[in-house]
Amino acid sequence: MPRKGGPIQRRSLPYVKKVLAVASGKGGVGKSTVAVNLAFSLAMHSEHAPRTRPRVGILDLDIFGPSIPKLMALEKAEEPELTAAGAIVPVVNHGLPCMSMGFLLPKIPGTDSSADTAVVWRGLMVQKAVQQLLFDVDWRDPGSGAELDVLVIDMPPGTGDVPLTLGQLVNVDGAVIVSTPQDVALTDVRKGVSMFQKISVPIVGLLLNESHFICSSCSTPHELFGSPASFRATAEQFGVGVLGELPLVPGVSYGGDRGIPYALYSPDNASGATDPGSKEWKETMAGVASKVWQFLSLSK
């Protein structure tokens, strides 16, 4: 039912200049891993560093299955502190502030982690939690008071309450949609594109994850999950650009399990940084970050 005061007005998030949603129609396509690595790639984008590093944060809006604590090695983090005004202070690791429902859940008795705590809520509770994570977090730098240049939001899969709440309440500057090559994933991508178009969220582009694998004994790309032709056709069908096609690199999974984003790996300090396809993965992700920065700089 429409409210007496008219339709809900979208507003900007406190202390955030630009909002970028990373979404997927289907779960299990590596969206959260992409979101974390994209956040670091944006923070390290060559047009900004080392002259002035932009402040980038990441918000995990997957209420039922938060992944950011694991991917950021913050599973054992203490409950976030509050400001004098009662706002939530983000948790920081690797120099990147982040917030997740996982930081607010009670820890399992006898453990120091809330990773196995289940969220069993109905829709209204979920919407209230989403609104708190959106509007009750103070993203300012504790030292300088600087705002975030970009907040990357890791969306839950599907087209349910959370993306609808975000689209109705927040000025979202762009959305990146992640998929794998299989038709079963692309079917849900089409629904995701349609949803963002209906709620007037601009789509930056589509990103293909795990597009191919390069083994150590040859240089031939192996399309383990099928040809990317259907993915490219889907992008063309909706008039959306392809941001990049990331290869399947074992080190990406290795880093995610240990809370070290692959974008931070270098051959000198991390296992897996010299995997076949590593150079292509890093160059592709850097290119995606460049395209996203260009899109966001042109958005109002």
Mean pLDDT by 10 residues, the chain (300 residues): 63 95 89 96 75 87 91 91 94 95 79 67 84 95 92 89 89 95 90 90 95 82 88 92 94 91 74 74 94 87
Residue 243 in domain: yes
Residue 9 in domain: no
pLDDT of res. 1:
44
Residue 283 in domain: yes
pLDDT of res. 122:
76
Residue 279 in domain: yes
pTM of the model: 0.90
Domain residues for the domain of 28 are 16-104+117-298
Residue 55 in domain: yes
Residue 11 in domain: no
Residue 111 in domain: no
User: In the chain, how many domains are there?
Assistant: 1
Q: Which of 19, 13, 49 is nearest to 35 (CA)?
A: 19
Q: What is the pLDDT of residues 118-164, one digit of tens each?
A: 777 777 888 899 999 999 999 999 888 999 999 999 999 887 788 88
pLDDT of res. 141:
92
User: Where residue 47 sits, what CATH number does that domain have?
Assistant: 3.40.50.300
Residue 5 in domain: no
Q: Are 214 and 260 in contact (CB under 8 A)?
A: no
